[in-house]
Amino acid sequence: MKLIVKGGRVIDPANGRDGDFDILIDNGVVARIGKDLPVEGASVFEIKRGWIVSPGLIDIHVHLREPGQEHKETIATGTASAIAGGFTAVACMPNTEPVNDHAGITEFILKKATEAGRARVYPIGAVSIGSKGEQLAELGEQKHAGCVAFTDDGRPVATALLMRRALEYAEMLGVPIVNHCEDPSLKGDGVAHEGYVAARLGLRGIPGEAESIMVERDISLAELAGAHVHIAHMSAQQSLRAVRAGKDRGVKVTCEVAPHHFTLTDDSLDGPVKYDTNFKMNPPLRATADRNAMLEGIADGSVDVIATDHAPHHIDEKMVEFDHAPFGIVGLETAVPIVFDRLVHPGRISLTRMIELLSVNPARVLHLPGGRLDDGAPADLTVLAPDLPTTIDAGKLVSKSKNTPFDRWQMVGGVIATIVGGKVVYRNAAID
Amino acid sequence: MTTSAETPTAAATLKSRHLLGIDGLEADEISLILDTAEAMKEIGGRAIKKVPTLRGRTVVNLFFEPSTRTRTSFEIAEKRLSADTLSIATATSSVTKGESLLDTVRNIEAMSPDMIVMRHSSSGAPHLLARMCRSTIINAGDGMHEHPTQALLDAFTIREHKRRLAGLKIAIVGDLMHSRVLRSNVALLNTMRANVWACAPATLMPSHIAEFGVHATTSVDEAVEGADVVMMLRIQHERMHGHYIPSVREYFTLFGLTPERMRRAAADAIVMHPGPMNRGVEIDSAVADGPFSVILEQVSNGVAVRMAVLYLLSGRDSMDPLDVH
């Protein structure tokens, strides 16, 4: 079974490759990359002028909700959403029911992912049993079962001592700790960024410092432990300052930013539809200065990864009072258009940097295969169309949940096709 | 109707079919409500305090938070306008059975009410209803966000005494951070060009107060100095423990409104309180019951203002004239 991805610009930053190439795929792996490869015996995927062939995009912050919350998303629907968004692989968070704090649950997730046969799934296990922040989970067993990192996402690792031990232990295993940084006492029962908008709308605020205090703590602890900490969904300018300072002095700290945090601000809560719960996420949409800081950090290289924090919720859960709605929005299918429209086309980043943020670096941070097109590597590819007009239609999202703040947004840039293991698993129906 | 020279021109109608907050109301709409309330107040002085204006209309008072004053005030206002009214309090609703707010309201709507007056502990809850339901929604207090009829009755009371709002120094003192009364009053008084002084302990001051368009201070003396109106807000019992205030005693010492402090205010100043009052906490009884106090007038005026709001939102003005004279 041979497939040739013919023509088009291939950007493979990890191999320093950027030019018009054909990619021959044989038996699911990259067999050859070259100019004008012979097509005989292979089916042909024709790449049109202007399209880009990238190593498969990887989203390292996704909530697939299975087991336990299948009314929001399943591994099958979540990975269908991933490939529709151009992602060939996702790392899924452990805050399922039960929490993925055990090898058996990791194995279940991987089995379901194989059955679904869409995107690759890399489970991230819980740091502590039940993510309760008390006792370390069996990280070694979980890693053996397939976990690629550990986090108590949704909840921060609240005590410095547990975080220290987790970092030390995970470093021994060669995997990072991913932390949802948020000081629980400063967050309180906050539901929105602590700024003028929340103050006027009477919403309890979460200051940027709730995040940055723990970012600073974790960077110090990573330094102490000589371990790798990855800061999840960074949103506050103070956190970015802390990450830059940590990187400057050589601490193994990496970070990710979600598309909504470099696109939207808390002003959205006071938009045409006030208190729209599709603008409620944690960390919250912050002030313009924070949003702009995230754009800067992405442009100057301080930010390593763009990850969506895809957090599906059922409409019944979101159609309630703002205080009572769960935090989170879906993100897998809106990320690529937003990155093109908000980062690439305005000239903030190059196409190469886009692919680093969405493919090369996610693979590096979690030590995943992928992120590069080596001979013999699994043929995971994303075909992108920078000039494709894309309109987001929440009702038509592939994800089981439709909780997006980007409904009806018109953007330029989209996904043409997603190829996983040499198989075209997604093709944009709007094209031919 | 009487309108003083300083009063801005009143609008002919309200633009929105809901009253979700003061935010969004223009000065002429506020004047319309206050002018209409003057006519309504006259009804309350009659031997037979009832007009047929809302006959055949159904108003549901949906109170998801305990309230005596506001609920009673709305009920009396509705009855004086001859509306059929029904009040539902949380303890007797299906909310305790786990039903969502929208389902609760849609079930009520299936019985065709015309207006829903709602008090809810979550900011923005009435906005959700206004977006998803058919009825006219009147916000009777949502979380820490707004309490528009309170601000309107406060403005009405101030106007009765001062004949104007523009240019007055109005000090609002208390737990401003958690107060919907503050937010509605600031919106209203700024629109009507009064000078608002916001005074609270640093721990109970809303964040970003500088952007509210008020003079913020932690000194009561400074806030009260030369004030035409001193509005005291309640300190909730739950704030008296924990991080906000060390003790009730210290709060009264630093922020309590005493006769001595009132001597700094204008000679003809008025003292207001939306209730319920904590005597000896935010206000000394000598002030609460003293000559400056208009606290019970606020309660009386609340009925007239709510009648005005119900009437103006009922759409009756397009059908037949208001029978008040």
**pLDDT tens, position by position, B19-52:** 999 999 999 999 999 999 999 999 999 999 999 9
Domain ranges of chain B: 27-147+300-318, 148-295
Q: Token pair 């209730």 is at which residue? A: B275
Q: What is the mean pLDDT of residues B211-228?
A: 98
pTM: 0.94
pLDDT category at A60 given cuts 50, 70, 90 is: very high
Scan for tokens 């590819």, then name that residue.
Answer: A381
Rounded Cα–Cα distance for residues B70 and B303 (Å): 9
Residue B146 C-alpha, separation from nearest chain A C-alpha, in angstroms = 8
Average pLDDT value for chain A: 97
pLDDT of B12 higher than 90: no
B124/A201 touch (CB, cutoff 8 Å), yes or no = yes
User: Are B118 and B139 in contact, with CB atoms under 8 Å apart?
Assistant: yes
Q: Is A173 on the interface with B (CB under 8 A)?
A: no
> For chain B, what is the mean pLDDT?
91
* Chain B partners within 8 Å of A323 (Cβ): 121-123, 143
Q: Which long-range contacts (CB under 8 A, 24 or more apart) does A206-209 make?
A: A206/A182, A206/A282, A206/A283, A206/A284, A207/B207, A208/A235, A208/A236, A208/A237, A208/A238, A208/A239, A208/A286, A208/A287, A208/A290, A209/A183, A209/A236, A209/A238
B139 Cβ partners below 8 Å, 6+ apart?
B18, B19, B20, B21, B118, B126, B146, B147, B148, B149
| CB B172, CB B205: distance < 8 Å | no
A-chain CB neighbours of B128 within 8 Å are 275, 319-322
B124: closest CA of chain A, how far (Å): 6
For residue A46, the one-letter residue type is E
B93: pLDDT strictly greater than 70: no
pLDDT reported for residue B239: 72
B27-147+300-318 with B148-295: one CATH topology?
yes
Query: A323–B122: do the CB atoms touch at under 8 Å?
Result: yes
Contact flag A200-B212 (C-beta cutoff 8 Å): yes
What pLDDT, on a 0 to 100 scale, did the predictor assign at position A35? 94
| For residue B320, pLDDT beyond 70 | no
Q: Which residues of B touch A275 (CB under 8 A)?
A: 123-124, 127-128
Q: What 8-state DSSP symbol labels residue A358? A: I
A185, A275, A313, A324: which to substitute to probe chain B, counting the most B Cβ within 10 Å? A275
Q: How many cross-chain Cβ pairs, A to B, lie less than 8 Å apart?
A: 68
Handedness of CA A206, A58, A278, A295 (dihedral sign): positive
A272 interfaces chain B, CB cutoff of 8 Å: no
Q: Which CATH superfamily is domain A56-365 in?
A: Metal-dependent hydrolases (3.20.20.140)
Residue B322 has pLDDT above 80, yes or no: no
Least CB-CB distance to A321: which of B124, B146, B207?
Answer: B124
Cβ-nearest to B123 among A194, A203, A316: A203
Which of the four CATH numbers 1.20.1440.80, 3.90.1170.50, 3.40.50.1370, 3.40.50.2300 does domain B27-147+300-318 have?
Answer: 3.40.50.1370
Alpha-carbon distance of A345 to A338, in angstroms, equals 10
Q: What's residue B153's pLDDT? A: 98
Contacts of A204 in chain B (CB under 8 A): 144
DSSP 8-state class, residue B167: T
> Percent of chain B at pLDDT above 90?
82
Q: Which residue among B122, B131, B206 sits closest to A321, beta carbon to beta carbon?
A: B122
Within 13 Å, how many C-alpha atoms sit on residue A383's CB side?
A: 26
Does B145 reach chain A within 8 Å, measured CB to CB? yes
Domain ranges of chain A: 2-52+379-427, 56-365
Residue A205 in contact with partner chain B when CB distance is under 8 A: yes
> Average pLDDT in the A381-400 region?
98
What is the pLDDT, as a whole number, of residue B8?
A: 64
| Confidence band of B318 (pLDDT split at 50, 70, 90) | very low
Q: Does the pLDDT value for residue B91 go beyond 70?
A: no
Q: Do B207 and A200 touch (CB under 8 A)?
A: no
What is the Cα–Cα distance from A302 to A177, expressed in whole angstroms? 19
- Alpha carbon of B262: minimum distance to chain A alpha carbons (Å): 29
A274–B212 CB contact, under 8 Å = no
Set A12, A304, A309, A341: catalytic member: A309
| A189 vs B: CB within 8 A | no
> Which tokens hold the place of A350?
């190059």
Closest-approach residue (CA) in chain B for A316: B100
**A202/B180 Cβ within 8 A:** yes
pLDDT at B94: 54
A-interface mutation test, from B122, B179, B212, most A Cβ less than 10 A away? B122
Q: Please say whether the beta carbons of A64 and A76 come within 8 A.
A: no
Share of chain A above pLDDT 90, in %: 97
Q: What is the pLDDT of residues B136-171, one digit of tens each?
A: 999 999 999 999 999 999 999 999 999 999 999 999
Residue among A196, A275, A316 whose CB faces B124 most closely: A275
Percent of chain B with pLDDT over 70: 92
Nearest to A211 by CA among A274, A176, A258: A258
Higher pLDDT, residue B315 or B85: B85
The residue-averaged pLDDT of B90-106 equals 75
* Whole-number Å distance between alpha carbons of A148 and A60: 10
Put simply, the chain A residues between 206 and 225 with a CB less than 8 A from any chain B CB are: 207
Q: What is the spatial distance between Cα A361 and Cα A234, in angstroms, rounded to a whole number?
A: 16
Closest residue on chain A to B125 (Cα): A321
Q: Do A273 and B142 touch (CB under 8 A)?
A: no
Pair type for strands A381-391 and A410-420: antiparallel
Residue of A186, A201, A206, A209 to mutate, testing the B interface (most B Cβ within 10 Å of its Cβ) = A201
Nearest CA distance, B128 vs chain A (angstrom): 7
A17, A18, A20, A21 alpha-carbon torsion, rounded to 10°? 20
Q: Known catalytic residue: A300?
A: no
Q: At residue A389, what are phi and psi to the nearest 5 degrees? A: -70, 130
Looking only at the bridges linking them, the beta strands covering B195-199 and B215-217 are parallel
pLDDT of residue B325: 39
Specify the CATH superfamily of domain A2-52+379-427: Urease, subunit C, domain 1 (2.30.40.10)
Interface of A with B in 312-331 (CB under 8 A): 316, 319-324
Q: Does B119 touch chain A (CB under 8 A)?
A: no
Condensed to tens digits (0 to 9), the pLDDT of residues A333-384 reads: 999 999 999 999 999 999 999 999 999 999 999 999 999 999 999 999 999 9
CA–CA min distance B214, chain A (Å): 13
Q: What is the pLDDT of residues A209-259, one digit of tens each?
A: 999 999 999 999 999 999 999 999 999 999 999 999 999 999 999 999 999
Q: How far is A271 from chain B (nearest CA, A)?
A: 12
Asked whether the beta carbons of residue A203 and residue B183 sit closer than 8 angstroms, the reply is no
Contact state of B207 with A198 under an 8 Å Cβ cutoff: yes
DSSP letters for A239-308: HHHHHHHHHHTT--EEEEE-HHHHH--GGGGBSSSBT-GGG--SSPP--HHHHHHHHHHHHHT---EE--
Q: Which residue of B has its CA nearest to A205?
A: B207
A266 in B contact zone (CB under 8 Å): no
A115 touches chain B (CB under 8 A): no
Looking at the predicted structure, is the pLDDT value of residue A186 above 90?
Answer: yes
Tokens of residue A59, six digits: 């989203």
Mean pLDDT of the region B121-125: 95
B102 touching chain A per CB within 8 A: yes
**Cβ–Cβ of A273/B180 closer than 8 Å?**
no
Quick check: A367 contacting B, CB < 8 Å? Answer: no
| Domain B148-295: which CATH number of 1.20.1340.10, 3.40.50.150, 3.40.50.620, 3.40.50.1370 | 3.40.50.1370
Q: Compare CB distances from B125 to A196, A205, A321 and report the shortest one's residue.
A: A321
pLDDT tens for each residue of A12-42:
999 999 999 999 999 999 999 999 999 888 9
Least reliable range by pLDDT among A5-9, A359-363, B202-206, B243-247:
B243-247
Is the per-residue pLDDT at B324 higher than 90? no
Q: Among B131, B145, B211, whose Cβ lies nearest the Cβ of A202?
A: B145
